[in-house]
Amino acid sequence: MDSAKKVLDTVLYWITVVLFALLVVIVVWQVFSRQVLGDPSTWTEEGARLTFVWLGLFAAAFVFGERGHIAVEFVARKFPPRAETVLAVVVQLIVLTFAVVVLVWGGWRAAENAWLQNLSALPFTLGQMYLALPISGVLIAFYAVYYVQGLVRGTRSPYLELEGEEALAANPQIQADRLGGEPLLVQSADTPDSPGSSPAGPKTEA
């Protein structure tokens, strides 16, 4: 699943970039046509709304895949490592349930009910705009399943900053949190202990 996730990450990244750029262009044209030309475009308001809905939902799926959403972890960090993993799996399963029930099933029902409601200034329907809900739900569900299998296999950490041994070794504070002690400060052999301190060992003369 790693290769599929990398491809999906890249596709979602460029989709969100294009949608954001399109939203900026639409809003700028809306302001320019109204304030400068004195002839506001009739389609820009609906176009901005449609683009914003798709951008917001696709970006939410992308950020979830990158584990970039805000997470309150101070309670979970009080548990033993195994309990932390179990709790992380439960959280991902809750997200998976929400994505499938609310976004996929509920979003599809909403799109189906509004499929024939035409937008006044664009050649699209309200149901087509709502299609972003089930699509983003499928994407979030994929990411949730991906992280659940990683947590179960032990290839993923409950916390983003603990992904991989390099991140763990690079942050002494993380090591201290895991060991329940003070940060382990690793000092280079070429660096003196403190200003004005003597070298670590005596010098020898030939």
Q: What is the mean pLDDT of each run of 10 residues along the chain (206 residues)?
A: 87 96 95 85 89 95 85 71 83 93 95 90 90 95 91 73 50 50 47 49 49
Evaluate whether residue 135 is within a structural domain. yes
Distance CA 129, CA 110 (A): 10
Domain around 130? 2-179
Whether 53 is in a domain gets the answer: yes
For the chain, how many structural domains are there in total? 1
> What is the pLDDT at residue 163?
54
Q: Is residue 199 part of a domain?
A: no
